[in-house]
Chain A
Amino acid sequence: MSEFKLMKGNEAMAEAAIQAGCDAYFGYPITPQSEVLEYLAREMPKHNRIVMQAESEVASINMVYGAAGAGFRTMTSSSSPGISLMQEGISYIAGAELPCLIVNVNRAGPGLGTIQPGQGDYFQSTKGGGHGDYKMIVLAPASVQEMADFVFLGFDLADKYRNPVLMLSDGAIGQMMEKVQFKPYTRPEIDKSSWATTGKPKTRNRNYITSLHILPEKMEVHNLKLEEKFKKIRENEVRFEEINTADADYLFVAYGLSARICQKAMDIARQKGIRIGLLRPITLYPYPYQRLRELTAQVKMMLSVELNSGQMVEDVRLGVEGKVPVEFYGRMGGMMPTPEEIVHHLETLIQYHHAN
Chain B
Amino acid sequence: MPIDQHVLPETDLIIPACHKEEEDEYEVVYHKPATLVDVNMHYCPGCAHSLVHKLIMEVVEELDIQEKTVGVAPVGCSVFAYDYMDIDMQEAAHGRACAVATGIKRLMPGKYVFTYQGDGDLAAIGIGETLHAINRGENILIVFMNNAVYGMTSGQMAPTTLPGMHTTTSPDGRDVSFYGAPIKVAELMANLPGSFYVTRQAVNSANAVRKTRKALVNAFKYQQLHKGTCLVEIIGNCPSNWKMTPVEAAKFIDEEMVKTFPLGDIKVPNAEDLKIF
Q: Are chains A and B native binding partners rather than an unrelated pairing?
A: yes
Any B CB within 8 A of the CB of A210:
yes
Any B CB within 8 A of the CB of A285:
no
B93–A89 contact, CB under 8 A?
yes
B106–A24 contact, CB under 8 A?
yes
Any B CB within 8 A of the CB of A58:
yes
Among B93, B100, B128, the residue within 8 A (CB) of A56 is B128
Among A55, A200, A213, the residue within 8 A (CB) of B66 is A200
Any B CB within 8 A of the CB of A4:
no
Task: Give B58-75 interface residues, CB cut-off 8 Å to A.
Answer: 66-70, 72
Any B CB within 8 A of the CB of A215:
yes
Nearest-CB distance from A79 to chain B (Å)? 20
Against A, the Cβ 8 Å flags (1 = close, 0 = not) of B4-48 are 001100000000000000000000000000000000000000000
Any B CB within 8 A of the CB of A304:
no
Against B, the Cβ 8 Å flags (1 = close, 0 = not) of A37-76 are 0000000000000101011101110111111111010100
A69–B90 contact, CB under 8 A?
yes
Among A23, A63, A209, the residue within 8 A (CB) of B91 is A209
A208–B82 contact, CB under 8 A?
yes
Among B3, B86, B103, B108, the residue within 8 A (CB) of A26 is B103
B88 — which chain A residues lie within 8 A by C-beta?
A: 197-200, 206-208
**Cα(A24)–Cα(B100), bound, Å:** 13
Nearest-CB distance from B9 to chain A (Å)? 12
B107–A23 contact, CB under 8 A?
yes
**Cα(A14)–Cα(B118), bound, Å:** 37
Interface residues on B, range: 35 or more
B129–A200 contact, CB under 8 A?
no
B69–A199 contact, CB under 8 A?
yes
**Cα(A352)–Cα(B14), bound, Å:** 79
Any B CB within 8 A of the CB of A201:
yes
Given contacts A23-B107, A215-B3, contact A199 B67 (CB under 8 A): yes
B106–A58 contact, CB under 8 A?
no
A89 — which chain B residues lie within 8 A by C-beta?
A: 93, 96
Tell me the total A-B contact number using a CB cutoff of 8 A: 139
Nearest-CB distance from A74 to chain B (Å)? 7
Given contacts A207-B88, A208-B89, contact A52 B106 (CB under 8 A): yes
Among B82, B92, B108, the residue within 8 A (CB) of A65 is B92
B111–A199 contact, CB under 8 A?
yes
A197–B107 contact, CB under 8 A?
no
B82–A59 contact, CB under 8 A?
no
A209–B103 contact, CB under 8 A?
no
B99 — which chain A residues lie within 8 A by C-beta?
A: 54, 58-60, 62-63, 65-66
A215–B6 contact, CB under 8 A?
yes
B93 — which chain A residues lie within 8 A by C-beta?
A: 62, 65, 88-89, 92
Against B, the Cβ 8 Å flags (1 = close, 0 = not) of A209-222 are 11111110110000
B67 — which chain A residues lie within 8 A by C-beta?
A: 199-202
A60 — which chain B residues lie within 8 A by C-beta?
A: 99
Chain B residue with the shortest CB-CB distance to A217:
B6
A26 — which chain B residues lie within 8 A by C-beta?
A: 103
B6 — which chain A residues lie within 8 A by C-beta?
A: 215, 217-218
**Cα(A215)–Cα(B80), bound, Å:** 13
Any B CB within 8 A of the CB of A96:
yes
B107–A24 contact, CB under 8 A?
yes
Any A CB within 8 A of the CB of B237:
no
A66–B7 contact, CB under 8 A?
no
Any A CB within 8 A of the CB of B184:
no
Chain A residue with the shortest CB-CB distance to B103:
A66
Given contacts A200-B67, A211-B91, contact A70 B96 (CB under 8 A): no
**Cα(A210)–Cα(B67), bound, Å:** 20
Residue among B86, B102, B103, B128 with most chain A CB within 10 A = B103
**Cα(A63)–Cα(B106), bound, Å:** 9
**Cα(A74)–Cα(B129), bound, Å:** 19
B104–A70 contact, CB under 8 A?
yes
Chain A residue with the shortest CB-CB distance to B131:
A55
A62–B68 contact, CB under 8 A?
no
B111 — which chain A residues lie within 8 A by C-beta?
A: 198-199
Any A CB within 8 A of the CB of B122:
no
Nearest-CB distance from B137 to chain A (Å)? 13
Given contacts A62-B103, A74-B103, contact A209 B132 (CB under 8 A): no
Any A CB within 8 A of the CB of B101:
yes
Among B7, B68, B92, B103, the residue within 8 A (CB) of A67 is B103
**Cα(A156)–Cα(B7), bound, Å:** 36
A199–B104 contact, CB under 8 A?
no
A50–B66 contact, CB under 8 A?
no
B103–A70 contact, CB under 8 A?
yes
Any A CB within 8 A of the CB of B238:
no
A199 — which chain B residues lie within 8 A by C-beta?
A: 66-70, 87-88, 108, 111
Any A CB within 8 A of the CB of B231:
no
**Cα(A88)–Cα(B106), bound, Å:** 22
Given contacts A65-B92, A200-B86, 14 further A-B pairs with CB under 8 A are A23-B107, A54-B132, A55-B129, A56-B128, A58-B96, A58-B128, A59-B99, A60-B99, A65-B99, A206-B88, A208-B91, A211-B91, A214-B7, A218-B3
Q: List 25 A-B contacts (CB under 8 A).
A: A24-B106, A26-B103, A55-B129, A58-B96, A58-B129, A59-B99, A59-B102, A59-B129, A60-B99, A62-B96, A62-B129, A63-B99, A63-B102, A63-B103, A66-B72, A66-B104, A67-B104, A69-B100, A197-B89, A198-B70, A198-B111, A202-B67, A206-B82, A206-B87, A212-B3
Residues of B within 8 A of A (CB): 3, 6-7, 66-70, 72, 79-80, 82, 85-93, 96, 99-104, 106-108, 111, 128-129, 132
